[in-house]
A and B are shown apart, each in its own frame.
Chain A
Amino acid sequence: QQQVKQSPQSLIVQKGGIPIINCAYENTAFDYFPWYQQFPGKGPALLIAIRPDVSEKKEGRFTISFNKSAKQFSLHIMDSQPGDSATYFCAAAGGTSYGKLTFGQGTILTVHP
């Protein structure tokens, strides 16, 4: 019940494409859903986060869509660039600590020029 399932495992798009990464969770106590971006040899960096009181959040080229009834959320990257090539992790947390995160397995995104 603590798992967060992420798909696809890897994704290749052309520059300008719109990669979509999906996550699903089971634990209804989760109420905070961030996405992290990780480059090789670096730590995860917070990209964007959403809470269940909204169905969509947009920051720059990154958009999270959230479906509370289906317990699913997804990341869309508009006008993707080669510099977006990285590993993306969805995560979830709840209760009093948003630092105790349950991570998805990660998606390796490659954006070709």
Chain B
Amino acid sequence: NAGVMQNPRHLVRRRGQEARLRCSPMKGHSHVYWYRQLPEEGLKFMVYLQKENIIDESGMPKERFSAEFPKEGPSILRIQQVVRGDSAAYFCASSPPPGRNTEAFFGQGTRLTVV
């Protein structure tokens, strides 16, 4: 999973600020997935994107959260007006286009702390 690059690794934001989390997929991977992991819990799916297209955002909170994967550059998960409850580890995974053997590989995560 070293091939999926996430930055920053740690991010501290005050309540009300914006948080931007970046994810560069593995070489050759065109599909990106974002997950959130609250302390002592498993990972929860948020959104699935391919270049310039949101495929599935069924796990995204309705407000303040957005994601994009532009034609050039990394995928961005954006959290506006952060609150304490947004404090969590956010993981990005990438995969090739869907198929029988297309497994996803995770990055190291961004740990967001809202103070």
Contact = CB atoms under 8 A, between A and B. Distances in A.
Interface residues on B, range: 20 to 34
A43 interface: yes
Given A98-B95, A101-B104, A43 B42 contact: no
B69 interface: no
B42 A103 contact: yes
Contacts of A69: none
Nearest to B91: A43
B9 to A, nearest CB: 9
Chain A interface main SS type? strand
A103 B1 contact: no
Contacts, number: 68
B105 A103 contact: no
A43 B41 CA distance: 14
Interface in B64-115: 91, 93-95, 98, 102-109
Nearest to A6: B42
Contacts of A99: 31, 33, 48, 93-95, 98, 102-104
Interface in B5-37: 6, 31, 33, 35
Nearest to B41: A105
Nearest to B45: A100
Nearest to B4: A43
Nearest to A44: B106
B108 A105 contact: no
Contacts of B6: 43
A81 interface: no
Contacts of A96: 98
A47 B76 CA distance: 27
Interface of A: 6, 34, 36, 41-46, 49, 89, 96-106
A-B residue pairs, 8 tightest by C-beta = A99-B104, A103-B42, A43-B106, A96-B98, A99-B95, A99-B33, A103-B43, A43-B108
